[in-house]
Structures are given as structure tokens and as C-alpha cells.
Amino acid sequence: MASLFYNTPARLKYLSSPNTELSKISDIVNRLALSHPEIAFSFISNGRELLRTSGRGDLRQVLGAIYGVKTVSKMAAIKGNDLDIKVSGYVSLPELTRSSRNYISLILNGRFIRNFPLTKAVIAGYGSKLMIGRFPIAVINIDADPALIDVNVHPTKQEVRISDEPMIGKLIANAIYDMLRDKQLIPDATRDFKQPVQAAPRQFDVSTATQAQTNPPLFAVDTPTTPSISQPEVTPVVVKTRDDLASSQVAQFDDFLKNEPSGLPAFEGTQPKTIDNHQPSAKPEQSELVVETGFPHLDYIGQIHGTYLVAETADNMYLVDQHAAQERINYEFYRKQIGEVSDDQQKLLVPIVLDYSTSDFLMISDRLDLLDKLGIHLEPFGQNSFIVREHPMWFKAGQEEDTIKEMIDWILSDHKISVAAFREKTAIMMSCKRAIKANHHLDELQAKALLKRLPECENPYNCPHGRPVLVKFTNEDIEKMFKRIQDPHHTDQEII
């Protein structure tokens, strides 16, 4: 082919890069191969074979050629049929998802189509098993009576109208639901927390010796030995009425207390310090406000439901969302770390291999420079795979592969994403992954450290997603809740 755009130079001007255009062509070939597994396809570009199928009619083999064997191993077959319609194909398990719906292929009577209601039916079949914003990989073959289909809707014939569309959607959703139900992917979340009910009340030995055996100390601590003090046997004194206070037993007990030796070891040259438990805690002055942000100095009081921290100042009470607070702290840390790409890398003992379809491989190859700017270096490995041998130091341990995959998904879902937007998304993702979750109980030191770091943020009032970090209750608000603010219609004597 030559001079293809001789008469249309404007179209040539607005073409994308060669890899992007090749990716679009590859996507079309992939759809054709999925639509006709009985036909052998061979796709070659510049002497490089990008796709080859056997033509044996095995859809699973075509899926392996496009998406890789590792991906196909996490896909399961579905089947469903009605009077005039038959549905079959493969869908991925909930653990294997993508960030866009482009990986859902609907094939009607051997032709790839786009149909939003049927795509929604595929997602509906998963119910609550999919994470928000994640979509499965699916290839759904629909065999229907041609009399039920109107193909003259779009010039490319990709959009069609089907008379029994709701029924087909229900058939697809039920087929996926039945397959996942047999897999038993989601057990009862409270199963491990439910204790069996005892038929009879259990008897516990609360003696000191038994507790020492059943509850060993968490840490071996060398405690100083103290001399044992012999305790004389004392008869319990029972006082039922006021007159019993003048009995001889009470008098003997008073004498015993006066002559009882102290159970505390004596320290030479030191005097015990007296602690005034009623001394009021010092209230923060207005000068303790952080000058840069105007954020108040918060005194930690306690925690509610392992999710919210209670704090106070001289005039107000605050509820702090611990997850949102640490998410904000982490976000500003990662935003700086990601912006300052360092040469420090963590080498992987076992490299990570990422398999993609040909179209995705070409799209990623076209944006490798964007990943390099964040310290993620992908090397081509095989036909449509990349290998990762190291990663930035700020990655969370144990989540390296998931983090890299999620970052690559952003490139695939938004081909024109800028470096600034890419860094912003990465900082938000990392801040959320490494933040304290709800129902996580903090000790006092951890809670105080969190409240101490929060005012150091550029914006301590909102998390990266825009949710509030804390809410304030003034003394007046609390007094109104308890009706302590005087109503002008009432007298002073009515206010307690």
C-alpha cells in the first residue's frame, strides 16, 4: 500500500503514533480471532509475529494467545440457554480485573458488537464480588435467531438492536452467577469470628498459679525478687447495719490495719513522690496554634470504635477520622517522593512478569518513558510480556505487583494522561494503601503521633479524595445538645 492519504492530508496529520495505530489494528484482529476460533489467524508487523491462533475452534487457546496463559488460568467457562438463544464463553474470576470495560467482548452470531445493557449484565453477574471501578475480562458468545436482531443501526454494524435484550442480559448474568456460586469464592466473612455456643457454662480456675500457666507473659522480663511477707489469716468482717460498726470484730480489724507492714519494698535514700490526681491538666494556649495553617493543637482523649480519635482544645472538641488523617499525611509524603525520582531501587529476588495482549503491549511500549519518570523500568520479555527486576523504595512490601499493574492500567484507560496527573494518581493510591484502616485500634502513643504530624501537612483538613479529616464541636454546640444553654423564657432557677 502506498500514498494512502494522498487526497486526505488532514487525516494523515491527526494520526497518532505508529504504536498507537498498530495497537488499534491489533485490537480489531484480536476481536476477529475471538469471534472465529475455528479460523487460524496470523498477525505480523515489520517481520514480528504479534498473534497466531491454531484455528481448531478452541476459544481457550485463542484467549491464551491474546492475553497469555497466566490470565487464561484465572478464567472459567460459562453456559446458558433458552428457547431461541444460547450463551457461552469465558469470564475471569473476581481476582483478575481491569480498569475499563474494553476487555468485555460480546460476540453475536459470530460478529463482535458493542451493547451497553449486555455489558452491564456481565458486571451484574458478579454482584458484589467486583471492586468498585474494576471490570472483568470476558468473552461472551451469543447465538440468537437472526429474526430477533436489527443490524442496520450503525455503519460498522457494531451496534445492534435485539428484541429480547433484557432476557439475554438476564441469561448472561445468571450464567456468570451460577459459575461463581459453584466456585465458592466468597465465604461467610463472620465465620471465623463466631464462637460455638456452649451447652453448659464453662468453669474457670482463677487461681494465680493457673493463670501463670495458661497466660504466659508476652515478654520475658527479669523482675527483681522481693522478700515475701507472711500474711496472717484474717476472718472476713460482715457489716449489715450501722450498729455492726461498733462490734468487736470491726475493732480487731482496725487494729490489724494499723499494725500491718507495708507491702511495698523500701528504697534507701528516696522518698515516694506524691501525685495529685486532681490537678487539672494544662489547657493549650492560643499561642499553640500552628502559625502556617492555623490548625489547632489537639490534645488526645481517646478512640471510638477503632476508627475515630477524640481530641480537645481549650474551647472545642474534635472527632478525627484516623484513616483520612494518615491518608493526608501519606499523600504529601508520597507526592514529594514520587516527584523526586531517586536512583535507589529495591532489587527483586524473583522478578515480576506481566503478560498483556498485543494491543495493550504496544500501548504500554509507547508510554514506557512515563513509567521511567517514576522509577518503574519495564523490559520486554517474550512476545507480549514485560519483566520488572526492581522497584522504587517507596513501594509497600507485598504489594509491588498489584501497584505496578494498577499504574499501568491508568495508562491503558487514559492514553493521554500527563506526567503530573500520573504522579497525582500514584500518590493518592499509595497514600490510601498505606493508611490505617477502620476498626484498627491505636495505642495512646500512636494516636498522639498521628495528631502531632497532622498539623505539619500543607492541607490538614481534607484527605486526598476530598473527605473531611476532622469535625469540630464547640462548647456551645455541646451545651445545646444537653439543653444547658438558658432559654430566655425560663428563669435562672430552672437551669441546673
Q: Are 140 and 76 in contact (CB under 8 A)?
A: no
Position 102 in a domain: yes
pLDDT for 181: 75
In this predicted structure, the answer to whether residue 197 has a pLDDT above a threshold of 60 is: no
| Cα(151)–Cα(148) distance, integer angstroms | 10
pLDDT for 88: 94
Position 298 in a domain: no
The number of beta carbons lying within 10 Å of the beta carbon of residue 134 is 16
Q: Which of 30-44, 108-122, 188-202, 354-368 has the lowest mean pLDDT?
A: 188-202
Domain extent, residue 130, equals: 74-183
Q: Which three cell numbers stand for residue 62?
A: 485463542
Reported as a single tens digit per residue, the pLDDT across 433-486 is: 667 777 788 888 988 988 988 888 877 887 877 778 888 888 888 888 887 765
Q: Is 224 helix (H, G, I), strand (E, B) or coil?
A: coil
Going by pLDDT thresholds of 50, 70 and 90, the confidence category of residue 488 is low
Residue with more model confidence, 286 or 491: 491
Q: Which of 310-314, 425-429, 442-446 has the lowest mean pLDDT?
A: 425-429
Position 165 in a domain: yes
| Cα(315)–Cα(408) distance, integer angstroms | 49
Going by pLDDT thresholds of 50, 70 and 90, the confidence category of residue 150 is confident
Adjacency order of strands within the sheet including 385-392 = 345-355, 385-392, 379-380
In this predicted structure, the answer to whether residue 37 has a pLDDT above a threshold of 90 is: yes
pLDDT for 205: 44
Residue with more model confidence, 262 or 74: 74
In this predicted structure, the answer to whether residue 144 has a pLDDT above a threshold of 60 is: yes
Residue with more model confidence, 370 or 293: 370
| Cα(464)–Cα(108) distance, integer angstroms | 43
Position 246 in a domain: no
| Cα(43)–Cα(22) distance, integer angstroms | 11
In this predicted structure, the answer to whether residue 172 has a pLDDT above a threshold of 90 is: yes
The pLDDT of 333-343, averaged and rounded, is: 68
Residue with more model confidence, 30 or 162: 30
pLDDT for 458: 79
Number of domains, the chain: 1
The pLDDT of 304-311, averaged and rounded, is: 90
In this predicted structure, the answer to whether residue 278 has a pLDDT above a threshold of 60 is: no
- Give the percent of the chain with pLDDT over 70: 72
Cα distances from 18 to residues 55, 234, 366, in angstroms, run 29, 96, 9
Position 85 in a domain: yes
Position 49 in a domain: no
pLDDT for 199: 40
The pLDDT of 362-388, averaged and rounded, is: 86
Q: Which three cell numbers stand for residue 20?
A: 498507537
- H or E element at residue 481: helix 475-481
Position 160 in a domain: yes
In this predicted structure, the answer to whether residue 336 has a pLDDT above a threshold of 70 is: yes
- The 8-class DSSP code of residue 486 comes to P
Mean pLDDT of the chain: 76
pLDDT for 237: 62
pLDDT for 214: 37
pLDDT for 213: 41
Quick one: angle between helices 18-35 and 358-365, nearest 10? 170
Q: Are 53 and 40 in contact (CB under 8 A)?
A: yes
User: What CATH number should be reported for the domain holding residue 141?
Assistant: 3.30.230.10
pLDDT for 245: 65
Residue with more model confidence, 234 or 324: 324
pLDDT for 489: 53
End-to-end CA distance of the chain: 95
Nearest C-alpha neighbor of 96 from the set 452, 359, 415, 356: 356
Nearest C-alpha neighbor of 456 from the set 310, 332, 345, 372: 332
> Which of 240-244, 337-341, 386-390 is the most confident on average?
386-390
pTM as predicted: 0.50
Residue with more model confidence, 258 or 178: 178
The number of beta carbons lying within 10 Å of the beta carbon of residue 120 is 15
The pLDDT of 413-435, averaged and rounded, is: 72
> Which of 196-200, 290-294, 421-425 is the most confident on average?
421-425
Going by pLDDT thresholds of 50, 70 and 90, the confidence category of residue 35 is very high
Position 93 in a domain: yes
